[in-house]
Structure 1
Amino acid sequence: MLPLALSLSVGTVLASPPGTAPEQARAEFAQFDRLHTVIAAHRGEIFFEESWGGPGPFEPVNIKSLSKTILSALVGRAIEEGVLESVDQPVVEVLNNRVPPAADARVEHITIGNLLSMQAGLERTSGSNYGRWVVSNDWVGYALSRDFVSEPGEDRLYSTGSSHILSAALTDASGQSTWQLAQSWLSVPLNVRIPHWLTDPQGIYFGGNDMLMSPRALLRFGEMYRQGGTLDGRQVVSAEWVERSWEPRGTSRWSGDLYGYGWFITDLGGYTAYYGRGFGGQVLWVVPEVELTVVVTSSPNPPSPGGRYVRQLADVVERHLLPAATHADSSAEGEAG
């Protein structure tokens, strides 16, 4: 059998759980002008796949800040491989002369885990600060030289600069680019394509933004996490890392959802759901209890409807795709009985 990423043609439904939920979902999703592709799989079997203009299921697209979820997997694998010591390791230990001399001494207390959970304590480089950051001539140095607005490990302050520092740490600790690590640790074992993406002025691949992956590739990544870090019989990241990534460590000030290591945690129809998200409506949901994985890609171009749009997408998933999966589970249990 061909891998999931390659085996199906666009629009093919591999397996349809009972009921009309997929048809109802299709009609409601079609109302969103910026929506490109939606894929849903139950136990790894695609039962819903549709595209509405824009890139389709197999074309790599800009997944924006959903990149942070992918980066978290690379950090977990780096720890398993001994490239990084642990989440408790101070990041300055692996940065090759990248800390500006004028940086606050508290930078020495920022750990790998603090950066993953957005608890570095540094002033944010996201939001209204983003433009000034990305036109600077040293993205890592700029992020590290921000003022401290809380102590490391305390408040959660969403900042793409924190993720970019992690990309630099991976590069300096391994001697390979973040893209090269993504090829070895994700692209090859998952049998997916991860093209080159944007780099900073020093050649560090953008950590936490602008990665390129197709919806089908994201589905395989999500399925790997749903199955405890394993896909097609290969352990891609450890089950322990999956659990640690999904452990709540902070709360989003905007959505109220919990946040772990690159993953948000929320309630979806009474079930715990883990998700990554990016600007414009790039979303990956994993609902382990009902063995459901859902991928959404949308136009990444401004203006973005922000959190409201993601909540609207989640509402359709909750009312139609989630019941399709739970119905399938109930039917299977009835047959087994």
Structure 2
Amino acid sequence: MIRLLSLLLFFCLPLAATGPAAAQSTASGVGGLGPRLDRAASDPAMRPLKTVIVARDGRVLSERGFHGHSPSESTNIKSASKSIISALVGIAIDKGLLTGPDQKIAPILKADLPAAPDPRINDITIGNLLSMQAGLDRMSGANYGRWVSSRNWVRFALSQPFVDQPGGEMLYSTASTHLLSAILTKVGRRPTLVLAREWLGPVEGFRIDAWERDPQGIYLGGNQMAMSARSLLAFGELYRNGGKTANGRQIVPADWISQSWQQRTNSRFSGDEYGYGWFARQIGGEQVHFAWGYGGQMLYIVPSLDLTVVMTSEESGPSARSGYRDLLHGLLADIIGSVRAA
């Protein structure tokens, strides 16, 4: 029943506008950015694109909604929410609820461990979950369906066989971030959504509209989270600004952002760097840190240019195999070129 109600929320989220969103503001020298985004969105290959927001140093340069979508409407940001889980872990460490990324997870989740677990389960750390290096078989891709069909997602994830050592190869798995949500729920003594709204609540414009839960009521760490493109921008701006709000309040420790953006491993699919819930690669000649969700839900941060860019897309198809994700990277490269030339 919990899952059904949660899924219904996603299908009933209101759309805030019926036409394209005009640019909220335009910085001097980047006046052609909005029309350039419009031209890019008119490419048939970019048909899934719903919204784009470009902000530099806290100022929105251009904001666009396409095909009847608006930057203010809720959308499922999918795995881009893994970066939000990472932020919550960093805050929990700062509050003393967790000791750090080297903390072992088995004592926290002991009630859900298998009866006769592989001894290596005692070696998995918070950091291993964040960097997708737990060693357990992946519960994403082909395995995702049977995982979310199980009666207890936490126990099912912990009962999977080891296919590598903890700290080994990157094994991208939403189960890893869901275990982090379960851990946050235990140490925070409140649901993860409540913690997120409390801890990230001071960030102006940030709001989680809906979020799926597992059969035990634990919010799905790293997937099925709904928020607007503007809300995702607010979260990105928090990270671009070193974890501080616009008025200078420290929300996420600056050191945690540095740790999260440090390369821990590489994706075996794309070769991209991966840290604690964040991808990284060179785009347009700049180092870019980004959150990426299924279908093309993108949050890009370009520290060297004080640039934050959000792109949301239809969630109906994969963005990697289709080449659509690379088109979004290309659009970001064009944006970077325009901003750099301004």
Pairwise same-fold verdict (TM > 0.5):
yes
Shift in CA distance, 250/275, structure 1 to aligned 2, threshold 3 Å: same
Tell me, in whole angstroms, the C-alpha distance in 2 between the residues paired with 1:297 and 1:211: 13
CA contact (8 A) 1:138 1:202 kept: yes
Moved more, 26-35 or 134-143: 26-35
Secondary structure class of the residue paired with 1:231: coil
1:1-337 aligned at under 5 Å gives the runs 10-18=21-29, 20-31=32-43, 32-53=46-67, 55-95=69-109, 97-232=111-246, 233-301=248-316, 303-306=317-320, 308-319=323-334, 321-328=335-342
Deviation at 1:11, TM superposition (A): 2.0
Q: Distance in 1 between matches of 2:139 and 2:28?
A: 44
How many residue pairs end up in the alignment? Answer: 318
The CA deviation at 1:10 is 4.2
Deviation per CA, 1:151-184: give whole Å up to 9, x if none: 1011110000101000000001111110011001
Read off the aligned partner of 1:316 and give its amino acid letter: L
> Partner amino acid for 2:48?
R
SS at match of 1:39: strand
> What is the identity, as a one-letter code, of the residue corresponding to 2:276?
Y
Question: How well do the aligned residues superpose, as a CA RMSD in angstroms?
Answer: 1.6
Q: List per-residue Cα deviations over 1:264-294 (Å, max 9, x = no partner).
A: 0100111100000000010000000011110
Q: Which amino acid in the other structure matches residue 13 of structure 1?
A: Q
- TM-aligned CA distance change 1:55 to 1:187, over 3 Å: farther
Write the distance in 2 (CA, Å) between the matches of 1:229 and 1:199.
27
Q: Which amino acid aligns with 2:108?
A: V
- Asked whether the 8 Å contact 1:21–1:323 carries over to 2, the reply is no
Q: Distance in 1 between matches of 2:156 and 2:28?
A: 51
Q: Report the secondary structure of 1:189's partner residue.
A: coil
Q: Percent identity?
A: 45
- TM superposition shift of 1:226: 0.7
Displacement of 1:193 in angstroms is 1.7
What are structure 1's unaligned runs of at least 5 residues?
Answer: 1-8, 329-337
Q: Matched residues in 1 for 2:306 and 2:29: separation?
A: 16
Deviations 1:84-131 (A, max 9, x none): 111000012222512121332211110000000000000000111111
**TM-score, normalized by length of structure 2?**
0.89
Distance 2:116 2:96 in 1: 31
Instruction: Please state how far the C-alpha of 1:17 moved relative to its aligned partner.
Output: 4.3
**Cα distance in 2 for residues equivalent to 1:195 and 1:310:** 25
- Return the letter of the residue paired with 1:101: A
- C-alpha change, 1:195 and 1:110, in structure 2 (3 Å) is same
Q: d(CA) in 1 for partners of 2:170 and 2:301?
A: 23
Which whole-Å deviations, capped at 9, do the CAs of 1:10-52 have from their partners, x for residues lacking one? 4233123425344223201232111110101111111111111
Residue 29 of structure 1 contacts residue 316 of structure 1 at CA under 8 Å; is this kept in 2? Answer: no
Moved more, 17-26 or 183-192: 17-26
TM-score using structure 1 length: 0.91
Contact 1:120 1:153 in 2 (8 A): yes
User: Structure 1 residues 277, 54: CA separation in 2 closer, same or farther (over 3 Å shift)?
Assistant: farther
